[in-house]
C-alpha cells in the first residue's frame, strides 16, 4: 500500500495545477495499479487537500491580506466576491450532475477522450493569439470572473482538467498567461475544498482501518510536489505557451485508447 500512496501522491502533485487533468491521471494510475472501488475514490479525493495546501502556502501573504482586509477594503472584498462568482457555476452544475458523472464518466476511455478534446481546445486557443486586456488578478472584472467560472464547468468531465478549463477561460476573457494561471490557483481553493469535503462525506464509510497513515503519506507527497510544480509553472508561463501540454495530452489519450482496444 505504501507504493500506491507514494505514486498517487506524486501524480496528484504533478498534475493538479498543470493543464493535463489530475483526476484523469489518478483514474488512469489507479486502473494501472488495479486499485479500484470506493476506497480508491476516497484516496483520489482526499489527497487533493495536499495540493490545495500548497496554494495556501504559496499565496499565504495574499490570502492573509484578503482575510484581514475583507471587512475594511473594497478591493479585497471585490476580489473574494469575484472568486465566489467564478466558483458558483461549476459548484451548482457539479452538485446537480454528481451522480451521473460518477456513474458514467470515471473510466479510462472517457478520460482519454477528455484529454484529447481538451488538447484540441488548447491548440485552438493558442492559434487565436487573443488580445490581452488584463495583466493582474486584482484588475479583473466581474464578467471576466464569470467567464472563467463558466469555463470551469468543462472540468466536470474527468480528464478535461480544471486547470486547463480555467486558464483557457481566463485567456479567452482577456487575461495574460500569468494572471489566468494565478486566478486558476486561487479558484482551486474553494472549488477543490468544496468538492473534496462533499465527496469525503458521501464516501466516509469506504476507508479501511489503518488508512489514515497512507492518506497522510500521499497528501504530504502531494503537497510537496504540487508546491514545486506551482513555482515551476509560474516561471514557465512567463515565456512559453501551453501547446506542449496539448501534445502530451494527445499522446497520452491515444496511448490509452490503443491499450483499451
Using CA atoms in the order 47, 230, 3, 114, what is the torsion angle rounded to 10 degrees?
70
- pLDDT at residue number 138: 92
Per-residue pLDDT tens digits for 33-59? 888 777 777 777 888 889 999 999 999
Instruction: Give the separation between CA 21 and CA 194, rounded to whole angstroms.
Output: 18
Cα radius of gyration rounded to whole Å, the chain: 18
For residue 38, which of 103, 111, 92 has the smallest C-alpha distance? 103
- pLDDT at residue number 208: 66
Residue 207's pLDDT band, with cuts at 50, 70 and 90, is: low
Q: Is the pLDDT of residue 22 over 80?
A: yes
C-alpha cell at position 255: 496511448
For residue 235, which of 189, 177, 188, 185 has the smallest C-alpha distance? 177
> What b/e readout covers 198-216, taking b as 16+ CB neighbours within 10 angstroms?
ebbebbeeebeeebeebbe
Residues with Cβ within 8 Å of residue 14, at least 6 apart in sequence: 25, 225, 226, 229
Instruction: Give the separation between CA 143 and CA 28, rounded to whole angstroms.
Output: 36
DSSP type of residue 242: S
Per-residue pLDDT tens digits for 86-129? 999 999 998 898 888 888 888 899 999 999 999 999 999 999 98
Residue 203's pLDDT band, with cuts at 50, 70 and 90, is: confident
Share of the chain above pLDDT 70, in %: 98
Instruction: Give the separation between CA 148 and CA 169, rounded to whole angstroms.
Output: 5
> Taking the model in full, what pTM does it have?
0.92
- What angle, 0 to 180 degrees and rounded to 10, lies between the N-to-C axes of helices 142-152 and 162-172? 150
Residue 61's pLDDT band, with cuts at 50, 70 and 90, is: very high
CB-CB neighbours of 220 under 10 Å: 16
Average pLDDT score over residue span 130-145: 94
Amino acid at each position: 500500500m505504501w507504493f500506491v500512496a507514494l505514486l498517487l501522491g506524486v501524480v496528484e502533485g504533478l498534475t493538479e495545477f498543470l493543464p493535463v487533468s489530475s483526476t484523469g491521471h489518478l483514474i488512469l494510475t489507479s486502473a494501472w495499479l488495479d486499485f479500484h472501488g470506493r476506497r480508491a475514490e476516497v484516496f483520489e479525493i482526499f489527497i487533493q487537500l495536499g495540493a490545495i495546501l500548497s496554494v495556501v502556502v504559496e499565496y499565504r501573504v495574499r490570502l492573509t491580506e484578503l482575510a484581514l482586509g475583507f471587512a475594511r477594503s473594497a478591493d479585497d472584498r471585490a476580489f473574494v466576491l469575484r472568486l465566489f462568482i467564478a466558483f458558483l457555476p461549476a459548484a451548482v452544475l457539479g452538485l446537480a450532475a454528481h451522480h451521473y458523472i460518477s456513474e458514467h464518466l470515471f473510466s479510462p476511455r472517457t478520460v482519454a477522450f477528455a484529454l484529447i478534446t481538451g488538447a484540441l481546445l488548447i491548440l485552438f486557443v493558442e492559434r487565436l493569439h487573443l488580445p490581452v486586456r488584463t495583466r493582474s488578478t486584482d484588475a479583473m472584472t466581474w464578467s471576466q470572473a464569470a467567464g472563467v467560472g463558466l469555463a470551469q464547468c468543462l472540468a466536470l468531465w474527468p480528464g478535461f482538467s480544471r486547470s486547463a478549463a480555467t486558464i483557457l477561460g481566463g485567456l479567452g476573457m482577456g487575461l495574460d498567461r500569468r494572471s489566468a494561471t494565478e486566478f486558476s490557483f486561487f479558484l482551486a481553493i474553494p472549488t477543490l475544498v468544496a468538492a473534496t469535503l462533499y465527496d469525503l462525506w458521501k464516501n466516509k464509510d469506504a476507508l479501511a482501518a489503518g488508512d489514515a497513515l497512507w492518506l497522510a503519506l500521499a497528501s504530504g507527497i502531494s503537497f510537496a510536489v504540487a508546491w514545486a510544480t506551482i513555482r515551476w509553472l509560474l516561471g514557465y508561463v512567463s515565456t512559453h505557451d501551453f501547446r506542449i501540454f496539448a501534445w502530451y495530452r494527445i499522446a497520452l489519450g491515444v496511448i490509452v485508447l490503443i491499450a483499451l482496444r
